[in-house]
Structure 1
Amino acid sequence: MKKQIPNALTLLNLFCGSIAVILAVNNNFVTAALFVFLGIFFDFFDGFAARKLNVQSELGLQLDSLADMVTSGLVPGIVMFKLLALTLENEIVTEGTWVSNNLDFHLNLPLLPLLGLLITLASAYRLAKFNLDEDQQTYFKGLPTPANTLLIISLPLIIEFQNSNAINSIILNLWFLVILTLVSCYLLNSSIKLFALKFKNYSFKDNSIRYIFILLCVVLLIVLKFAAIPLIILLYIIMSVLDNLTTK
């Protein structure tokens, strides 16, 4: 029975991600972000539970990637699609008609915003590579999909809650979103080694970079709120690169 506990947590991740997809498609980004946060929470603890209960399995690994593909692959792609569409027409364009008698299907989608779905494709490629890579136990090679999702999902939250016209004008700039999409796809599949938030023990000596990173994250979130999330992702990458240089 206990071996199904991690799988149940993984399925809760998938459930939250599926709800987030529906909400994002309907432009309810704030509630979608809430379910993404819940999904990532379950994603973290399914692996934790599997290790503590010593019930890691190949099934759990594959199930975890399938759930991540929805919560941390499809959702950010949809959110970026919506943001790109918003910059083009100031409204989301998703018109479609279906006539069942003669099977005439017409779908009108803006082409440029489909670029946002590159994030979904890059996430799928990254997850497939991760499943085949046996080295990524204590570190990640490339930005993990949950971290990338937090970066993308933070954009509509910043617009909604930060109340800064200057920041909003940057986020809703077409070129900013296009460049961010391409950078996101690169980071997901880059060869940059990033430390994992996995504690084999709780000593400060062995986990100093993790403790310092968590402390800085708390401070940034308190001071900057949702605007801190992109800075936290940047901090994560910089600290990982510096750690790689010092350990060499």
Structure 2
Amino acid sequence: MKIKALIPNLFTMLNLFSGCVALVMVADYKFDWAFYFVCLGIFFDFFDGFFARKFGVAGPLGVQLDSLADMVTSGLVPGFVMYRLMAFSKEFMSVTVGVGAFDYYKLYFLGFIITLGACYRLAKFNIDERQSDSFIGLPTPANALFITSLPLVITAYEHNQQLVELFINKTFLVAITLISAYVMNAEIPLFSLKIKNFSFAKYKLQIFFLVLSILLLFFLQILAVPLIIIIYVLLSVFNNIVNKKASV
């Protein structure tokens, strides 16, 4: 077997390793490092596909490995982060399910609904031939960035008591969890972020989104991360409505 055929799978394994380290960081309440390792895993996830296409070695093994690695980095990690966020909520900590030996099963296990949604999304993606150039439903890496950035927003804005209370509010966390799992699997076409040639007329939406994202990151820093994901989905919905009206 040629060495270049192993390179994409090596990057996939690095993605998986990054996810494993991120899990340990969440367990140790080091949410900043968990976020960084999720970002690193997504970086490796991008390049495994890039090298597979470049070297012409894409195959079914790589597809399965990619999904399994993403299941950890972009599925299990954000679910665990949401579990931790829910555990911070005093409302959740006072509510138990069951009696006796089962009292320790608190409702914050609902956070892993994100993991279930990511699992379904990844399996569906592998058999959906419509998502070669763009996505239908929010990709798991984007969702992972959204969820894992939330604890960092809390830390960065800890002086804002109202914002902190919102981010550890029971209703808010459950809503984010359910919406997250839904949007990953919803039949919502998202515009492609690939710009194959510089044509403002053809890629004006992508260029606008890219410039806006840079500006948000510059002025809002970590708060920009969840906002960018939300804006990406909303712009896609708006773009779909415009295109639908134009085609009528």
TM-score (norm 2): 0.88
Runs of at least 4 residues off by over 6 Å: none
2:141 counterpart of 1:139 = no
Q: How does 1:65-84 map to 2 (within 5 A)?
A: 65-84=67-86
Question: Which string of whole-angstrom CA distances, capped at 9 and with x for unpartnered residues, describes residues 56-115 of structure 1?
Answer: 211111111001000000000000001101103798xxxxxxxxxxxxxx8874420000
Q: AA paired with 2:183?
A: L
Name the structure 1 match of 2:12: 10
User: 1:108 & 1:225 partners in 2: Cα distance?
Assistant: 40
8 Å CA contact 1:138–1:195 kept in 2: the answer is no
Q: Which has the higher strand share?
A: 1
* 1:201-240 equivalent positions in 2, closer than 5 A: 201-240=197-236
RMSD of Structure 2 on Structure 1 (CA): 1.8
Q: Distance in 2 between matches of 1:151 and 1:183?
A: 12
Equivalent-residue separation in structure 2 for 1:107 and 1:34 (angstroms)? 35
**Corresponding position of 1:96:** none
Asked if 1:130 corresponds to 2:125, the answer is yes
Q: Tell me how far 1:240 sits from its aligned partner.
A: 0.9
Change in 2 beyond 3 A, CA 1:22/1:156? same
Structure 1 gap ranges (5+): 92-105
User: Could you say which residue in structure 2 is the equivalent of 1:99?
Assistant: none
User: For the residues of structure 2 that align with 1:42 and 1:50, how far apart are their CA atoms?
Assistant: 12
Matching residue's letter, 2:70: D
Name the amino acid aligned to 2:52: A
Instruction: Give runs of aligned pairs for residues 35-50 of structure 1, distance below 5 A.
Output: 35-50=37-52
CA contact (8 A) 2:75 2:119 kept: yes
- Counterpart amino acid of 2:76? L
Contact 1:162 1:226 in 2 (8 A): no
2:195 matched to which residue of 1? 199
Distance 1:47 1:197, change over 3 A: farther
The question of whether the paired residues in 2 share the 8 Å contact of 1:85 and 1:110 is answered with: no
| Correspondence 1:163-202 to 2 at 5 A | 163=158, 164-202=160-198
Displacement of 1:175: 0.9
Q: Deviations over 1:33-78 (max 9, x none)?
A: 1111101111112212222222221111111100100000000000
Q: Greater CA deviation, 25-34 or 237-246?
A: 237-246
Which amino acid in 2 is paired with 1:226? Answer: I
The sequence identity of aligned pairs, in percent, is 50
Amino acid of the structure 2 residue aligned with 1:141: I
| Superposition deviation, residue 165 in structure 1 | 2.0
Cα distance, 1:73–1:85 mapped onto 2, change above 3 Å: same
* Whole-angstrom distance in 1 between the partners of 2:193 and 2:238: 16
